Amino acid sequence: MLYLYDGALDVPTILKNWYEAEATSNYGAYIPFVGTVRSENNISGLSFDIYEPILEKWFDSWQLKAKAKGAIIKMAHSRGDVMLHESSYIAAVFSPKRRVALMLIEEFVEDFKASAPIWKYDLKQNKRIYALERSTAISGSGILGVFS
């Protein structure tokens, strides 16, 4: 339940499809998180690279954590360019109970920001500039830089 799309996400359709897919699964809470490209720093948009093999493993490990609490997670992300006010990211939790859903969406989104192998670039004057200062080194980074 990891969906990658070229370009911007069709948010209403994805939210509708996910809601309807779980309509009779007896989940009491559905919490999507939708991330949209904001106008700041004179960008015309953002662009994304994704390394899918590790993203899939990371997502599968979260799906197991969710399952242990009776919940499920769905996620959609854009590859390539996403322009101002378009959306590039949706994560959603379905859970029988609201407390689990509220905790899980927060933990998932924060770990996504820290760990998911996705790289962000600002689109500015036809250039694609790596957003290093807004990026986070994955836990365990730097081992190849230590003199041994």
Place of tokens 């996403």: 82
Which residue, 117, 99, 119, is CA-closest to 107? Answer: 99
Quote the least distance from Cβ 30 to its own copies, whole Å. 4
Quote the least distance from Cβ 138 to its own copies, whole Å. 19
Stretch that binds other proteins, among 9-17, 43-51, 65-73, 99-107 (CB under 8 A): 43-51
Is residue 124 a contact residue for other proteins (CB under 8 A)? no
10 CA to centre of own chain: 15
Q: Where are the beta strands (DSSP E) in 54-86?
A: 72-83
Identify what 100 binds: its own copies, other proteins, none; CB under 5 to 8 Å per kind.
none
- Quick count: other Cβ atoms within 10 Å of Cβ 80? 15
CB 120 within 8 A of CB 41: no
Quote the least distance from Cβ 26 to its own copies, whole Å. 5
Stretch that binds other proteins, among 4-12, 16-24, 44-52, 61-69 (CB under 8 A): 44-52
35 CA to centre of own chain: 8
Identify what 142 binds: other proteins, its own copies, none; CB under 5 to 8 Å per kind.
other proteins
